[in-house]
Structure 1
Amino acid sequence: MISTLDLDIRPGSGVGMFELGASLWAVIDMLRGLQHLFPQVEVKFDPDNSATTPVILHLRPHLDLLFSGYHQRLHTICVRRLREPHPPLTLRYKNTVISSAAEPLVRVHVSRTFGPTYPGDELKYPGIWFSFDGDGVNEGFKGGITHMEQRTQEVKHIFVRQKPVDGEERDALDEVLPCPIMHGDISSAIIKVIHEGVHFNFYSSTLHLLARIGVTTAQDLTIDLGPPSRVHHKEDERMTIHSPNPQAFEDEGSTDYFYNYFHHGVDFLISGQTHIVRKIIIHSNVPGSPLFQRYKRCPWELEGKPEDDEDDSPPRKHFYDKFEMMSHFLSPQEPPPSMLLDRTDEYDNVTLASSTTRLYGYDGVILEVNEASQVVTVILF
């Protein structure tokens, strides 16, 4: 017997276990444990601009989740195929069933439940609207339709998104406004390219963490960021071959370990001898890249030197800028020689359309770049 998918609808807030404003990383991570409810999940994105364009999760057959392009936050939830029996769908509003396999949701029931609203082909309320158009078939108002036929029109799609601000409906390409589910997440990571470190700012918090290479300790990170998702002892020493003194590097780094903060999109390499940060790795979570969904997107910015002592707005480049702009920002000359990296080499039977990235080294900064000129990782050392 197929179990019923039972979801409550919260206008302007969410549907079932899905909360508006949740990160793409958190939602996919949650879905891994809900395969009995959502066995078919499809991720859709624009491969040429995957760092800046929306991502859609299709949870067949009933749900489509739209995530904003820049901060990868759940923007719109679409509930569709309300009568599809595999699995059956039950929808509730304030603990009252409004739609089920036995009771279809029709226009008059929407009006009775949610009250009056402005006329139109759709019934729109703050944070939710109901469409009568089928999948590719216009089933809205038609010429000559009777009043009784209007009353019994079946709802085909339900859309839930944040409520309008100052009466203006938000566009599907807008970023999600800060909301409680974001509290404690990194709102921005300002990378100081003059070897000062990274300033981490957080949603709805006065906490501002400055992580500095050679200064910040493992204890500092635990106090400010909490315990890491994982502590990983460094084993990969392949980059030592490029060191001018590989033996000294190997002796010093053999006991180093990583603090992995997957839910923040940041790694810290920590000295095994001094327990001080040696490297900071920040991830962009670009769809289609080898590390996609291993880390949440960290919204980072590269900040250059101020033009003078009175300059309170130094130049910056953002995670969504193309590599060519980043490279010129870091060094006006031609880009440095690059090294090829294929992260699928360590795994058998794993193939990606674009598995190879390039590493470009600058003063204290390494950029990992994919074939679409998107910076997928920034390494500070």
Structure 2
Amino acid sequence: MSLFAAPLYPNIGLGFLVLGASLHETLTRLKAEPQRFPKLDLSYSAAEPVTEPAILNLPANGIRLRFDGPEQRLRLIEVIDFSKNRITYQDKEIAKPVNPQGVLGSPKSGGDATTGPAFRNIYHRLFGPTYAGEYIPPANVGKGDAVGTYILSYPGVAFSFPLPLSSYSPNKDVVSLLSSSASQTATSVAVFSGKSWAHARETLWDEVLPSVKSTLLFNKSKEVVPDEVSLVKIHGGGRLQLFRKWTSSSMWINLGVTTPQDLVAELGPPDAIYRKNDQRMYIHKARTASQSHSRSRSNGGDYRRPEDLTDTDQSSAHTGSDDSDDEAVEDDLVGNVSGECFYNYFHMGFDILVSPPQPISQTPPSQVLASNGKEVPGASPFKNSTADRLVATKVVLHANVPGSYPFNRHRRCRWEISYLPTDDANEVVDSETPFDEIEERLREEWKSTYPSEDAKGRQRGMVLNRGWGDSPGSSCEFLGGWEDSSGGVAAKKLDGGEDSTTTLYGFPGLVFEVLKNGFVSAVTVY
């Protein structure tokens, strides 16, 4: 295994590990070098996977990475074992290797051990003087030999030193405290965004980090890459508004109107394009079609069942069966595809179905009432009249929930349903809301459109198992080595267990794929 060597950039990152990078991007980058990063351990809360932080440990490299839950962005980088890496600052090593005789010096062989950064080296040579740090007393204060932690902080970087409780005094300066032999070597270093660790700790998980593209590591690149989409607002009636966090701009996708050329112009070319002709859910569509005439007699609007839209399920997931007609689209120009297909934006967290125009879901009742006959926001004045012209007809937004079967195929895409009223103006129904709450508010919104009193109760979901090889969209062989656990997060061979089972629930314009823990794994907007 090659040793992990990287320069430290305070407030920015460690080598290619940059603060603000997504969990999907980081895992993909690490898995690309299995010899350098042979083991990745991901820890997360099984009960609250999208609200609690996720921790990615690199035990063979002595590195620990912490990501927030809602956005899945890298918030904290920790070096916890200096014998497994070589960290430099301004071309100087922060931790000196130790030869077998215990003498500091240049490494002469791969077997040399490494102690932590020495206080004198940090304070006098590398970073210089700084303000007094923070002392965290030990948990077992009653013991006389109890050892606490002294945090020496600089803007964007902090060092942790062991300091016995008996040696600490608030009246002593930092040089006096850390000059003893027992406390002069740091046990870990943390890279974060903020002027000091004490200030950064208060806003560590929710601070708006600068764009990764704005860092000195990337701003010299001549490649033009569109800013990633940080939030998708679902307005109903086939209208979606895509926001970019670091700019004031947003774009609209009007299903049935937005063309492939519009998508490429705003979002850039997709990461992949796939054509899907899976007909295994046709039996449900045939049943639905046979009932459509009787439904049209009522005022049921377009209240459709979840099976009506399962052909879009996971969009890009190649079925892998021998009789499948799925194929990759090899058009020279991605804006000029010749048939129904999916535009897969893995790095943005969503897939878009491009097909001939289809009926779009109705406008939510609350918006019809609020508009008072006027055109709703975001509606396009242009309509496609030709049936053979390809347009965006469905969008699949992926949550990238840790522990779910399709984890790390897409970056996490955050969304919110803008037309659902809430008691608190600051409260929204979004990708972090448990589905029970989402379902309750959607039933209240659409209750006037239900065809019968029976439909006003909780609907029956359709169970989908992604672990079976013949489940629609379950295989991911086109992703290249997802089933291979070498050099990455251990991929489970699921064969019908709870981790691979989800339930589909449908509402007008929306189909939710819900995990066992009650959180939404993906939502399809049509």
TM-score w.r.t. length of structure 1: 0.87
Letter in 2 for 1:270: V
Matched, 1:141 2:253: no
> Where does 1:279-294 land on structure 2 (aligned, <5 Å)?
279-294=394-409
1:136 is matched with none
CA distance in 2, matches of 1:200, 1:354: 30
1:344 is matched with 467
Letter in 2 for 1:124: S
State the identity as a percent. 28
CA distance in 1, matches of 2:46, 2:521: 13
- In terms of fraction of residues, the more strand-rich structure is 1
**Structure 1 residues 35 and 230, CA, compared in 2 at 3 Å: closer, same or farther?**
same
**Residue 353 (structure 1) shift:** 4.9
Structure 1 SS opposite 2:45: coil
Structure 2 SS opposite 1:223: helix
**Structure 1 residues 276 and 109, CA, compared in 2 at 3 Å: closer, same or farther?**
same
1:224 is matched with 266
Matched, 1:266 2:350: yes
1:319 is matched with 431
Q: What are structure 1's unaligned runs of at least 5 residues?
A: 133-138, 308-312
Letter in 2 for 1:186: V
**Residue 306 (structure 1) shift:** 7.1
Matched, 1:380 2:525: yes
Q: What are structure 2's unaligned runs of at least 5 residues?
A: 99-103, 105-114, 135-149, 169-175, 215-226, 291-307, 313-324, 326-338, 357-387, 445-455, 470-474, 476-482, 484-491
CA distance in 2, matches of 1:172, 1:350: 39
Query: Contact conserved, 2:434 with 2:520, CA < 8 A, in 1?
Result: yes
Query: Contact conserved, 1:76 with 1:172, CA < 8 A, in 2?
Result: no
Structure 2 SS opposite 1:258: strand
Query: Contact conserved, 1:89 with 1:101, CA < 8 A, in 2?
Result: no
My pick for the range that moved more, 98-107 or 146-155, is 146-155
My pick for the range that moved more, 326-335 or 210-219, is 326-335
1:366 is matched with 511
- In terms of fraction of residues, the more helix-rich structure is 2
Letter in 1 for 2:400: N
**Structure 1 residues 274 and 355, CA, compared in 2 at 3 Å: closer, same or farther?**
same
CA distance in 2, matches of 1:52, 1:236: 35
Letter in 2 for 1:75: R
CA distance in 2, matches of 1:216, 1:128: 46
Query: Contact conserved, 2:467 with 2:500, CA < 8 A, in 1?
Result: yes
Structure number with higher relative contact order (C-alpha < 8 Å, ≥ 6 residues apart): 2
- Render the CA deviation track for 1:33-80: whole Å, top value 9, x for unaligned: 121211011111001110111111101131000001110000000101
Structure 2 SS opposite 1:344: coil
CA distance in 1, matches of 2:49, 2:271: 26
- Render the CA deviation track for 1:185-243: whole Å, top value 9, x for unaligned: 112100113x1411000122343111111111111101110100100101222233222
Query: Contact conserved, 2:420 with 2:429, CA < 8 A, in 1?
Result: no
- Indicate which of 194, 199, 209 corresponds to 2:251: 209
Matched, 1:334 2:457: yes
Query: Contact conserved, 1:52 with 1:70, CA < 8 A, in 2?
Result: yes
The total of aligned residue pairs comes to: 361
Letter in 2 for 1:110: I
> Where does 1:119-268 land on structure 2 (aligned, <5 Å)?
119-120=133-134, 121-132=150-161, 139-143=162-166, 148-150=179-181, 153-164=184-195, 168-171=199-202, 174-181=205-212, 184-193=227-236, 195-243=237-285, 244-245=288-289, 255-268=339-352
Query: Contact conserved, 1:213 with 1:276, CA < 8 A, in 2?
Result: yes
1:69 is matched with 69
CA distance in 2, matches of 1:66, 1:328: 33
- Could you say which structure has the larger radius of gyration? 2
1:48 is matched with 47
Letter in 2 for 1:32: K
C-alpha RMSD over aligned residues: 2.9
Matched, 1:91 2:87: yes
